Structure 1
């Protein structure tokens, strides 16, 4: 049980790391994402570099969650667990690749600050990052969320409502990403934010449960699967 408790703690910490790094990186990226003239400007670029570093740490933490959980979730269905690890790794790879265009912008503002077409080039780099963000944290994340939530629902390692949040949030964030891809809603909009709430709540609740309680023991999980004897016995009049 000690090993399982350690696994739950490690996974919980890594899930929280993914949230802290992703939210902080997005805030630090503000100057380059919102200002199309950033590439020709003279303002500080340290926030962008820090944001890129945090997104690299985010990618590492994403893989870490999959590696930490695999020994536990494979007991329920190894094929689905492998699918979760593979998709989680793909999500991390997309996030890491999305960092590169913004790093390139910081280089170009030194090398070609006055050449014609520099601003459109900077906008293209930002657009590439935004598309990577859409594919990774929306489409791929939505899919791997469903796989993990399914495994946790089957195993009853966590309360049912937590698994339900994942089963609801995964498809919602995937649908939101698809709608953004086809221009039905904006990437930064109220609808996109609302669609992200269940998956955000799922990861926070899952992380806190694993940190505070750890995974349920086999006896507790079995008790959650099988009705108690009192519910099966007929009432004696």
Structure 2
């Protein structure tokens, strides 16, 4: 297996991980997000912690996809490839902030349960603020920033022809749709969790899912930048081999 085939395989697996972990991770938050009296109730802290753990995996895999692909994509356009890495890092940072906000709600519930005569209103108010913070981080991170990552990666894959162009078009078209949907949510046109918001994410979901499967099954398509990457890898391997023989030759 060549180095570029390994890169494609790892990237594909990371894309699938982001999808596989993100869906159950979001569903596990249900008891906290849907119960306005979660802090004063019995809670489902273990379930929330499991959801946070899965989302941490999503954040790591998000960054991993960009870092793994960067050495190849930078040969097509280094500035855009760097922008893709930066966008993934910021997106994952916002996901982490959202995770911390929900875990803080769990801590508030535990503090309330442990206290005698605690002021329920103040605890519930603080919990509502933290839940609102999570909602905004979700809109800005996996929402608006996902649009930029979809467009940047779609452009790089479309112009380099590393995957079929019809597939890359899913990112180029889906990204702006998610962005416009995020703007609509921002200005209150419809709710973040709604049919319209779900439909807006369809193309972006199809883009990342199809890309992950394609990279795992087939790898990259032949491309000039791929030949450059393989040549550079071979040159480095030859240089290391030559360097390893120098001490023996000197003896």
TM-score (normalised: structure 1): 0.90
For the pair shown, the structure with the greater C-alpha radius of gyration is 2
Residue 36 of structure 1: aligned partner? 36
Are 1:211 and 2:216 an aligned pair?
yes
Q: 2:112 & 2:163 partners in 1: Cα distance? A: 54
Show structure 1 runs of 5+ residues with no match: 223-237
Residue 162 of structure 2: aligned partner? 157
- How far residue 122 of structure 1 moved from its aligned partner, in angstroms, is 1.2
Q: 1:22 & 1:40 partners in 2: Cα distance? A: 28
Residue 126 of structure 1: aligned partner? 131
Alignment map for 1:1-237 (pairs within 5 Å) = 2-113=2-113, 114-115=118-119, 116-218=121-223
Q: 1:162 & 1:44 partners in 2: Cα distance? A: 40
Structure 1, residues 55-103: CA drift from partner, whole Å, max 9, x if none?
1111111000001110111110011100110111111111011101110
Q: 2:43 & 2:127 partners in 1: Cα distance? A: 15
Residue 233 of structure 2: aligned partner? none
| SS of equivalent residue, structure 2 residue 201 | helix
Q: CA RMSD in A?
A: 1.6
Q: 2:44 & 2:218 partners in 1: Cα distance? A: 44
Q: 2:80 & 2:152 partners in 1: Cα distance? A: 7
Structure 1, residues 162-206: CA drift from partner, whole Å, max 9, x if none?
101000110011111111011011101110011000000000110
- How far residue 130 of structure 1 moved from its aligned partner, in angstroms, is 0.7
| SS of equivalent residue, structure 2 residue 27 | helix
> Is the 2:31–2:44 Cα contact (8 Å) retained in structure 1?
no
Write out the 4+ residue segments of structure 1 that deviate beyond 2 Å after TM superposition.
Answer: none
Show structure 2 runs of 5+ residues with no match: 228-251
Q: 2:161 & 2:222 partners in 1: Cα distance? A: 9
Count of residue correspondences: 222
Structure 1, residues 136-167: CA drift from partner, whole Å, max 9, x if none?
00111101110110011001000011101000
> Is the 2:144–2:182 Cα contact (8 Å) retained in structure 1?
yes
